[in-house]
Structure 1
């Protein structure tokens, strides 16, 4: 389907207003982060303390991203976003007041940064989830790309502006600027008149949606590859982010202004990386792009370990920004490509959990290493490790994401004698096949692939049995926690899954299609035969 160009989503007034507000809000957040990262170096010279502030901002996302993804699917997203913005504004107000009164300590800074991280954890999946509501389907990819561009615009402006404000007017003014940015974001969300959610008897509740998301993540082998590659890359790459404030102060002999410029260079490099990425994709596949990003990131860390001139440091951080955005876009784009719509928010939340967990754990770990061995040695160790794992894991190929994940809706409605309450369960589904002896091996191989689809779409148990009296009669069974969950399972089956089912059923030799039966657990006492 043709699109109207990369900037076509901005023709939609609601998207344009919320996009601009988001850029402004992210700019304020980067200003706040610069102030916090620099203030901790004034409060403590310990690398562990500096790394702790970095980890406090990312650890909540590791802990809460999955519940946040569930909430974004079960709550009114506009109201939820407003509440999150109020929480983040209260954090910056507290930082502003404590800084103005001279009462800010490492402990309070870490605690408030952690609360801010909670807000970021709740906001991330929700912002991603509202994009399809704001633009036509044909402009969705352009809207996602514009969101990434907006983040990097904020990343290039916010740190530099924060460094200038921090140097010229102090931390309280920098935090105050962040508070002001939330006013504009909240105003934009209040202006947006979001259509109310349509009533749906099969709408998921929190715990059921939570379990369904975890089941999908546990059963999807393609997602496992993406998560593993992301965890390793970010665990080693986090060294540069954890130690950059100390690199600016000690190795480069700079001040808060230089730190802001360094972060601004990373943001500018990310914009350049996003612009050249389409051309790089003509030469490199996803695995090649990730390996190239690992090598460039490692080389930047190695050069910074040598304490280069400040101009050289700014120049190589442009390369870091480009490499980082290419890695982020490659991993996130691959995750998006392999996820069906019904679980996209929750599965992306799992990805965010791994990403931020690797960043938080890596930040703490590299901070402790730096405290024991020094900053230059730590950066060199991380650089060597990143290149080594990048080369080794290049063999673990990322999935291509080329399968058709659109819902097929080809399963017929299950036959019932009477209406069944949605919370009845568990439900056992039996599928009866007749398979020739010579076809059994390829049939079972196809059926085992189908088992993964059953589990991803909601089954918590699966198995296959044969009739001892009739070996050609083979029974597949799977368990679903409730009748409503099985009805949702009908909606979740994709065209790719339908192809897999057709591959399985082509071995069936019966005169009709395989027989499907549904069995629902009886409540205690229901249907009991009483003796006279």
Structure 2
């Protein structure tokens, strides 16, 4: 990975294995923090004390349910049309590959324009894509593989829209709460996404059984209206200017130096890429796993996906509860090692209910690892650089998913699904052990964690 000169005064080389943001981001130090959080509100949900965060959370939750419904229906439709796990991996790759290029541009835009307007434009494109898929499948306008290619093309279009707006969403999220609540906000976002991951597949299974995949695509199109309504009503603080206007090339280079010129940020990006690249194997190949290993249909697939999603909700809740105590390299490494073991055990088990247990635990550990790394990164960047910094992080995070999904699909096609799970699990265990030996991930105590 290239080494860039830092854009700010040099800081001490990170050596701490435990990051404690309380001193920098305590409610006492933050004038915007509410004096009294409702006593009945659990610690994991403290971010919900803020109106704009609640509105954005609700809109995103409704949209995520629709997205999961489409993802389940689309994966099963592709599998029925092709009978090949390779196309499942290719679909996942095309949906995430735009992050590798367009995310950098999206990050620069997110620091220049109103982030809400950028997000609204993205939602409109994704709504149009879902409507197009609804019409193509509902009218049976394209036969066989031509429909598969159209689905892949729409996945690419949706991925492009998400790549352009993803940095804006990640940059907007911490602005909806005081900085001492960023950990709860990030974990809360993981809660809504994974709670939708429980509800969406279950609804998709029922809707597909009675109305077919077309209805799932139509409901997803409608769900985008909810997040668009939320974006239209929130009032985030005015964005901080990064100084004199720079060219696009200068904006991107500044972001590269800011992120990769710092060892801690650089290593967090690497860790995110490795975790997502290996952890994506189970979600990507779950339809094939259901069909081949358990001879199941779309209903059983939706139940297994919901089981993994339920575990993910638990993992996100745990991280949100311990948001100020779990910024530790050892916590991240432990989650990765345990996740790798769960994937290996899933590959080996021949009992259905035991497979459900490993999916549940694996979902919890996967989201816990994601949320911990993401929260650490968000706490290490300033708001004037947030869009560009987050865009680079998303290149690593989502790029890892894209490449990992494609490789998992190809490996399962030429080998088998359980073997792919086992190999990915071994890789995650190795990454966790490497992270446990690293002493430079956590930021030093004197870094200014402005959010």
Alignment RMSD (CA, Å): 2.7
Question: What does residue range 387-406 of structure 1 map to in structure 2 within 5 Å?
Answer: 387-406=429-448
Give 2:397's aligned residue. Answer: 355
Aligned positions, number: 408
**Counterpart in 1 of 2:8?**
none
Q: Which residue number corresponds to residue 163 of structure 1?
A: 205
1:47 to 72, 77, 85: 85
The one of the two structures with greater contact order (alpha-carbon pairs below 8 A, sep at least 6) is: 2
1:49 shift after superposition: 1.2
> Are the structure 2 counterparts of residues 232 and 218 from structure 1 closer, same or farther at C-alpha, using a change threshold of 3 Å?
same
In structure 2, the residue matched to 1:341 is 383
- C-alpha spacing 1:369/1:8, structure 2 compared with 1 (3 Å): closer
Contact 2:240/2:384 (<8 A) preserved: no
1:388 and 1:87, CA in 2 relative to 1: closer, same or farther beyond 3 A? same
1:146 corresponds in structure 2 to 188
Matched, 1:130 2:172: yes
How far apart are residue 217 of structure 1 and its match?
2.5
The answer to whether the aligner puts 1:377 opposite 2:415 as a matched pair is no
Q: What secondary structure is seen at the aligned counterpart in 2 of 1:400?
A: coil
* Whole-Å separation in 2 of the counterparts to 1:47 and 1:403: 47
Instruction: Give, in whole Å, the separation in 1 of the partners of 2:388 and 2:358.
Output: 36
Match of 2:67?
29
Structure 2 residue matching 1:74: 3-state secondary structure: coil
Alpha-carbon shift at residue 146 of structure 1 (Å): 2.4
Preserved CA contact (<8 Å) 1:31 1:174: yes
Cα distance in 2, alignment partners of residues 88 and 99 from structure 1: 17
**1:93-492 to 2 correspondence within 5 Å?**
93-102=131-140, 103=142, 105-192=147-234, 202-277=244-319, 286-306=328-348, 308-406=350-448
CA offsets, 1:219-261, max 9 Å, x none?
1122222122222333322322332111011112111122222
CA distance in 2, matches of 1:196, 1:385: 43
**Residue 57 to residue 307, structure 1, CA distance change in 2 (3 Å):** farther
Deviation of residue 359 (structure 1)? Answer: 1.5
1:78 deviation in Å?
Answer: 1.9
User: SS where residue 111 of structure 2 aligns?
Assistant: helix
Q: Aligned equivalents of 2:101 and 2:111: distance in 1?
A: 18
CA contact 2:239–2:384 (8 Å) conserved in 1: no
- Which has more radius of gyration? 1
2:186–2:371 contact (8 Å) kept in structure 1: no
Gaps of 5+ in 2: 1-25, 28-32
CA deviation profile, 1:285-329 (whole Å, cap 9, x unmatched): 733323332333223322332463433322221101111011112
Question: Which residue of the partner structure matches residue 17 of structure 2?
Answer: none
Query: 2:129: which partner in 1?
Result: 91
Return the alpha-carbon distance in structure 1 between the equivalents of residues 425 and 329 of structure 2. 19
Would the aligned equivalents of 2:265 and 2:380 in 1 still touch at CA under 8 Å?
yes
Q: Distance in 1 between matches of 2:307 and 2:367?
A: 13
Residue 350 of structure 1: how far off its partner (Å): 1.1
CA distance in 2, matches of 1:97, 1:37: 17
The answer on whether the counterparts of 1:160 and 1:261 sit within 8 Å (CA) in structure 2 is yes
- Residue 13 (structure 1) shift: 3.3
Contact 2:190 2:367 in 1 (8 A): no
| Structure 1 residues 254 and 105: CA distance shift in structure 2, 3 A | same
Summarize deviations over 1:21-40 as a string: whole Å, max 9, x none.
11111111111111111111
Q: CA deviation at 1:173?
A: 0.3
CA distance 1:383–1:212, change in 2 (3 Å):
same
**Equivalent position to 1:38, from 76, 79, 102:** 76
Query: Which structure 1 segments of 5+ residues have no match?
Result: 408-493, 495-532
Q: Once the 2 structures are TM-superposed, how far is the Cα of residue 187 of structure 1 from its aligned partner?
A: 2.4
Taking a change above 3 Å as real, the CA distance of residues 98 and 326 of structure 1, as seen in their structure-2 partners, is same
Using the TM superposition, give the Cα deviation of residue 177 of structure 1 relative to its aligned residue in structure 2, in angstroms: 0.5
Q: Contact 1:53–1:113 (CA<8 Å) still a contact in 2?
A: yes
Among 55, 59, 67, the residue aligned to 2:97: 59
Q: CA deviation at 1:161?
A: 1.4
Aligned-partner Cα distance in 1 for 2:277–2:335 = 14
Q: Deviations over 1:43-95 (max 9, x none)?
A: 11122111111111111223222211111111122221111110000110011
Structure number with the higher helix fraction is 2
SS in 2 for 1:20: helix
Residues 92 and 179 in structure 1, CA contact (< 8 A), matched pair in contact too: yes
Change in 2 beyond 3 A, CA 1:312/1:342: same
Contact kept in structure 1, 2:68 and 2:197, CA below 8 Å:
yes
SS of 2:296 mapped into structure 1: coil
Give the whole-Å Cα distance in 2 for the aligned partners of 1:77 and 1:290: 30
